[in-house]
Chain A
Amino acid sequence: MREGIKRAPGFWPRATLFYLYLLFLYGPIFIIVVLSFQGENASLSFPMQGFSLYYFSEVFDPHYIGDYRWPFGRSVILGLIVMVLTMGISFLAGLAFRKNFKGNILVFYLVVASLICPSILISLGIGIGFSNLGLTSQWWSGGLGAHLSWTLPFGVLIMLAVFSRLDPRLEEAAKDQGATQWQTLRHVTIPITLPGLVGVALFGFTLSYDEYPRISNVAGEHNSLPVELVNALALAATPTIYAIGTMTTLFSLLVIFASFVVVYFMQRRRRGYGAKKMLKEA
């Protein structure tokens, strides 16, 4: 029966634009993957020279100028720390914002300011601040702070949106039934806001893992992956960069896939749990 559907006027132009945009998004990534399989002494551009896994082995070669294994590991660890902190801080802030505490407007504007503040200002400010205290900023100290200044606005804005859609009657009902504050939080508030929290987690990790300008001055002697990549570009640009691109993209796809599997099973478990409970009570 679907053939009978009458498309809205302008459907095809819009559909065309959508798929063209996807092509525009994926084209360069596809090229990266293709060009990362070149033979030795290749350049960053076409024509493709030879076919080998040379540049993939280069990534793992410890004698190579930029050994990318450690920066990659650091970026993942930093991303995970930023993810957990962004989730926790944003969730707590979301709880507080619901109560419209005194000064909430000021804190809200501070969050927006953190989002729009020019990256170099944050980077330079943290770097100079550390050195004036007699410290050297490292990726896990100043770098972590720089990343939080970027991820927290997204986290808090998402949590504000999530909490504004949360029906407070659900929590009131739990309290009326004698649940303590902690039980309400644990069994009502957190489960309902979980999809939003997963979103915050994904945002937190991605934004940190990918971030360059804010951490550029404060990573210390041990760089994160994006900083290492920009440095490598300035020195000698080889298709090794594409090989890293190919591998990190693959890694990211795995992470996304894994998180979807987790969310899927969480939802299924929750549904199953509710149904079982109903059966028991019946």
Chain B
Amino acid sequence: MTVASVNSECYAFQAFKVTSPILVVGDVFMTNINYPFLAGTYSSQMHRVSKLSFPLRPALFLLVPMAIALLAACTPENNQSTFGTAGPIAEDQADLFKFIFWIAAIVFILVEGAVIFIAIKFRRRSDSDKLPYQTHGNTRLEITWTVIPIFILAIIAVPTLTQIWEQQNLVPQDQGQVLNIEAIGHQWWFEFRYPDHEVVTSNELHIPVNRPVAFKLDSQDVIHSFWVPKIAGKVDMVPLNDNYMWMIGDEVGTYYGQCAEFCGIAHAHMRFRVIVDTEEDFQAWVAGMHTAPNAPVAGSPEASGKNLFAANCSSCHTNDSTSPGSYAREISSQQARWNGWISDIENSGIVSAPNLTNFGQHSTIGAGLKDLNKETLEQWITDPSSIKIGTRMQKHAAVYDTSDGAVKLSPTEVSDIATFLLSLKPGSAPAGSVVEASGDVDGAEVFATNCASCHSTGDNTVVGPGLAGIGDRAGTLVDGLSADEYIEQSIREPGAFIVDGFPAVMPGWSHLGDDSIDALVTYLKTLK
């Protein structure tokens, strides 16, 4: 086979032979190369080496515009771009990245330039079979290129170490009042607790602008990672190993966050939002979280939804953490729900679940998955898996059929629940006014608010045992304890006596206060 014939059959890629300056690079490889030391059979094959141009031409033709397009695709406006910073930590991290990047870019250009230059300059020319000088190396040169990188790395190390100790050490105390937040990862949503303000919320984190926020990060199940790319790099949420981080949001707005550590089937759907508020908006939001919604008008869809929610959803979802004491109660309930699930992963009737207080104020649903509106909310209630595969609600909540996951509610009922949830916004009552009046407590109401999601007043089991006839049984269960004492202790310290066949998941309820507990005991004894 001659060179010419190989040329003439220069493959389908001939179409790409477009005159362009970038293709000149390809041409330098076209030099005919011979291998005289090889016998005849092989030499014809060797000529084909010269056809290096055939893949290079289309390659460069495709790659250069592609690279430009990709560079353009890297925009700070993107929701999770680490370049579109809105806080000093992310900004420092981006600056450090750029600093190292440009040093790397110089090394990159030098090395890649050298590779291409050497490959071209020293490539074999026509028939030259000259043996190069068989040098063994050059010790001085080699020591030089060992030492120079050490200096370059030292230059990189200085800002690196400075930033490590700035970012991973203590929260700065001189940049405004520190806000403490406990962020807890759950499969597959985020819980946010504000111990300073006794507020619990989920998946949408509100922080005030220009104030340091100190996070305690924890996980209830597997390892997650807490990451708001525009405000700060990630820190993992490790079960049993609290981590700490801090951040400052210096621009009002809504930012995207996402779990960054693989955490199971719905890892891709474990997202959240961070809402950086002005100080006034933040305080208003905190006040709102302590303000109960207006009571629904009797007969309205909201009223129907409220009852349906209480009957079907409230054993896992709290929706009324506005009153004093509700913060501690929610924390113990969340722990109880977790204990319930972990003690019977297959059949538990309860699971850890987001707190839905003032849910109507949220903008997303399903841990930042979809915009919140009536349509998406109804879809979520009807078939959560259609939005987020792996959601535990559909498997564990009694309101879903165990065999096919279908919701046991009519479309109207679903609509009513959605309407009710969307109506959950701070009501007109001023913050802090919803306090139980002492001395005049209705035990039935205390039961409905606090106990009914797990206990029925009949014989049937919900999560805990049915309580019909508890007044008659209670006095006989433990020697030396009257019915009143037994019931009261069961409320205050449920772990003291566990009814056979039930998991030890009920939290203590001492925080209800003596009056409420007395009223509750009196009420319970009336159940027949």
* Physical interaction between A and B: no
Residues of A within 8 A of B (CB): none
